[in-house]
Amino acid sequence: MNNSTIDGKKSNEMGLVKLSAVGFLVQLLTVFATILIVLLLGPPPADGKEALLMMENPIVGLLRDDFPSIVMISLYLISFPGLVLVLRRHSSSLTILAAILSFSGVILALSSHSGLSLFHLSKEYHMTTDPAEKIQLLAASSAVFSQNIWNGSAGYFGGFFLQIGGILISLSMRSHICFSRLTVFFGISANGLDLIQHVLHPFTPAISEVIMFVMGPLYVLWFICLIKNLLGFIKNQKGENNGFHS
């Protein structure tokens, strides 16, 4: 393999790591966006009827219907590949398993999002004047709501995969020179608490909400540490002659 080929491969790999850092940055911003949406527009709907009425204003409705959370979860498809690239030699088995679980969790979470279905039902509901049809649409809305990211099986198991993937990827960072102990600690703590609240949510939502207030800041700190560590990795690679090769 000649030097130009090696340099081109290294450049592509560093580009992927940069993309991961950008992904984590956007995820960080999404956390704050979610908080602002709850404060300014209100929390997610409590039932199918509220969801249907909320969607009369589609922008407000979609924002309140966990759209920022779906964006943040989807961004793992961008932020994790570069992370896997950095960790693939240090702890390959654990890293690959974490990536598979996380990507599976993203797919399940996306499949459980109710926003567009509720938007369609809401248009039908507000257009019709037939009381019987309105009752049918309310029933359909309740059925969709029962299968959303918080209440459906796909969303529930998707959360398991995402949080376990986050814990495993954090464990794979141990003793890696690129990642600090704080990064590992915040990653295990945030994803671990998220896993606990996720298990408890269907049974004790009040306790789950309390845990979310604690895990939220931990996710913020984890994302900040990951961005800092990935940018540090890129900087170190630029300063070394023995580049990052596979």
Taking only the tens place, the pLDDT of each residue in 97-142 is 999 999 999 999 999 888 889 999 999 999 999 999 999 999 999 9
pTM for this prediction = 0.87
Kindly tell me if the per-residue pLDDT of 5 is higher than 60.
no
The mean pLDDT of 6-21, rounded to a whole number, is: 79
The pLDDT score that the predictor gives to residue 239 is 66
Kindly tell me if the per-residue pLDDT of 244 is higher than 60. Answer: no
At 113 the pLDDT is 87
Q: Which two tokens stand for residue 125?
A: 């509901």
**55 in a domain, yes or no?**
yes
70 domain-assigned: yes
Question: Residue 7: pLDDT band by 50, 70, 90 thresholds?
Answer: low
- Is residue 142 in some structural domain? yes
Q: Is residue 243 part of a domain?
A: no
Give domain status of residue 188, yes or no.
Answer: yes
CA distance 85 to 127: 51
Share of the chain above pLDDT 70, in %: 93
**How many domains does one find in the chain?**
1
- Domain range for 53: 3-238
Q: Where does the pLDDT of residue 91 fall: very low under 50, low under 70, confident under 90, or very high at 90 and above?
A: confident
Give yes or no for residue 10 having a pLDDT over 80: no
DSSP the chain: --HHHHHHHHHHHHHHHHHHHHHHHHHHHHHHHHHHHHHHT-PPPSSHHHHHHHTTSHHHHHHHTTHHHHHHHHTHHHHHHHHHHHHTTTSHHHHHHHHHHHHHHHHHHHHT--HHHHHHHHHHHHH---HHHHHHHHHHHHHHHTTSTTTSHHHHHHHHHHHHHHHHHHHTTTT-TTS-HHHHHHHHHHHHHHHHHHHHTTT-HHHHHHHHHHHHHHHHHHHHHHHHHHHHHHHHHHT-SS----
Decide if 246 is inside a domain: no
13: in domain: yes
> Could you read off the pLDDT of 22-43 as tens digits, one per residue?
999 999 999 999 989 989 998 8
